[in-house]
């Protein structure tokens, strides 16, 4: 009988299709976020360099102008180190993962959609 190790299960959820991820970003994320270096903040912060960053740490993003001071605190208090695994969990249901966040996005329920998006983001946000 063939069994799959927990490590392989973990890795398989993070291997996605970057082209499909680009499409997901365009339809589900781009209205609020940009990814290019030096890109503008929109309703949400620019995501360039997100991998390795801690939540709530985009200094050029003004939550104050949106009256989202409490969201800033929720993201800072969460102190999440963004990597493939934390993003995978966060993108399923952002408001559950960081209580108090003001991100209106309901999340991506399908594992494959999250894997595809993260695979693309690893290229686009680097």
Residues 97, 17: Cα–Cα separation, whole Å: 24
pLDDT of residue 8: 45
The pLDDT > 70 percentage for the chain reads 81
pLDDT of residue 34: 98
Among the residue ranges 43-47, 58-62, 95-99, 111-115, the one predicted with the least confidence is: 58-62
Q: What is the DSSP letter of 40?
A: P
- pLDDT band (50, 70, 90) for residue 24: very high
- Let me know: does 106 contact 93? Beta carbons within 8 Å: yes
pLDDT of residue 25: 98
């Amino acid at each position: 009988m063939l069994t799959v190790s927990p490590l392989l299960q973990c890795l398989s959820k993070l291997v996605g299709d970057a082209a499909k991820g680009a499409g997901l970003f365009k339809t589900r994320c781009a209205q609020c976020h940009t990814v290019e270096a030096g890109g503008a903040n929109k309703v949400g912060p620019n995501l360039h360099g997100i991998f390795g960053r801690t939540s709530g740490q985009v200094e050029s993003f003004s939550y104050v102008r949106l009256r989202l001071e409490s969201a800033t605190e929720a993201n800072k208090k969460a102190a999440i180190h963004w990597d493939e695994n934390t993003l995978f969990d966060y993108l399923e249901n952002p408001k559950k993962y960081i209580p108090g966040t003001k991100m209106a996005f309901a999340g991506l329920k399908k594992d494959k959609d999250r894997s595809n998006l993260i695979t693309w983001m690893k290229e686009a946000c680097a």
